[in-house]
Amino acid sequence: MNKTIGIPRGMFYYDYYILWEEFFKNLNTKVVISPKTNKDILNRGISTCVDEACLPVKVFHGHVDYLKDKVDYIFIPKFISLYKREYCCPKHLGLPDMVKHSIEDLPEIIEPIINLRNTNKTFKKAVLETGEYFLNSKKDILKAYDLAYGKWNEFNKLMCLDLININEIGLEWNGKQKLKPCVEENYNKTILLLGHTYNIYDNYINMNIGKKLIDNNIKIITVEMVEEIISRHYANTLPKRMFWTQGQKIVGSTFSLIDRKAIDGIIYISAFGCGLDSVLLELVERKAKDNNLPFTLITIDEQTGEAGVNTRLEAFLDMLDWREKNEDNISTYG
């Protein structure tokens, strides 16, 4: 019988789920993905994870806890570095160890090390180590990976062309909305929904902000829609090199959208206590201010109430409307 692999729907899941799911399916493995975050998963995360962790890490623990009795293996890569001379947040690096220390009775964890800081060659090793749990042939494993990579790459290109159905990236807003240029679709405004993928695309922890914006006829842009070559170009304009890969993407994409005047405002969703965001926020907010662009921050943790998020959002959208009617007289900060 085919072995079963569990993929927790949290952290880098939102960046790589197409790649991982396809890869494991190509290895003839049964893939089980934990359900969308819900109250039960959040509670499991809160009760198993250490208090000091950020919300996305707690949520990730909840997803692992959900999967642990249902699969033969759980896939938790250890992300150290995705680019030369760059790093991921230390929480990604320590994720498999944290989970193993916090949750009892786990099945075997498949935890390939992704460390491209010095060379890309280590990546092949990580792919083979993972594949060897399910297939013996190195050639077949690499073929399975190449096919999956092709599909993932195609998806990313579609995101950049702004043509993909937003539903496919896990948002499930109305299931139909295609992202097309603002004018064509008659949107009221275009807003950059900014932050780490696991905050932007997890509707439960962000209190459905995406749906609320769409209900207000707002077009949403996310940093995944900006081509990497462009975001890196803009990130390189910073006086000091950004050595967090997530920072390159968030700051570079935002700068490019501001300079191209492609957005009417920015909503930054940040997990309480996120060390990376404390730096990224400062850079983005300063650039928005210099360009007189409305900006608001919504901080989320397990205590966040929907009423508070709604109030902030409404105030921000009202402010955008007022500014349109009374140019320059209204503060740009919600």
Least gap, CB of 89 to ligand SF4 (angstroms): 3
CA-to-CA distance for 232 and 252, rounded, in angstroms?
A: 6
54 or 320: CB nearest ligand SF4? 54
Q: At closest approach, how far in Å is the CB of 196 from ligand SF4?
A: 5
Q: How far from each other are the two terminal CA atoms of the chain, in whole angstroms? A: 56
- Window 277-306: residues binding ligand SF4 (CB under 6 A): 277
**Shortest distance, CB of residue 26 to ligand SF4, whole angstroms?**
29
Q: Looking at beta carbons only, is 65 or 202 nearer to ligand SF4?
A: 202
Q: Contact between 271 and ligand SF4 (CB under 6 A)?
A: yes
Instruction: Tell me which of 9, 189, 196, 323 binds ligand SF4, using CB under 6 A.
Output: 196
Strand pairing of 189-194 and 113-115? unpaired
Pick from 64, 37, 101, 92: which is nearest to 275 by CA?
92
d(CA 185, CA 193): 18
Residue 223 makes contact with ligand SF4 by CB under 6 A: no
Q: Does 274 bind ligand SF4 (CB under 6 A)?
A: yes
Which region, judged by CB under 6 A, interacts with ligand SF4, from 38-46, 209-217, 247-255, 273-281? 273-281
State which residue, 58 or 287, has the beta carbon closest to ligand SF4.
58
CB of 275 to ligand SF4, least distance (A): 6
Of 87-126, binders to ligand SF4 (CB under 6 A) are: 89, 91
Strand partners, 6: 32, 74
Question: What single letter denotes the amino acid at residue 127?
Answer: V
How many residues bind to ligand SF4 according to rule CB under 6 A?
A: 11
The residue among 44 and 91 lying less far from ligand SF4, judged by its C-beta, is: 91
CA atoms within 13 A of residue 168's CA, in its CB half-sphere: 15
Q: Which of 57, 80, 169, 298 binds ligand SF4 (CB under 6 A)?
A: 57
Residue from the set 54, 64, 242, 250 that interacts with ligand SF4 by CB under 6 A? 54
Q: CB-based contacts of 225: which residues, under 8 Å, 6+ apart?
A: 159, 160, 162, 179
Secondary structure (DSSP) of 143-197: HHHHHHHHHHHHHHHHHHTT-SBGGGGT--SSS--B---HHHHT-SEEEEEES-H
d(CA 206, CA 198) in angstroms, rounded, equals 9
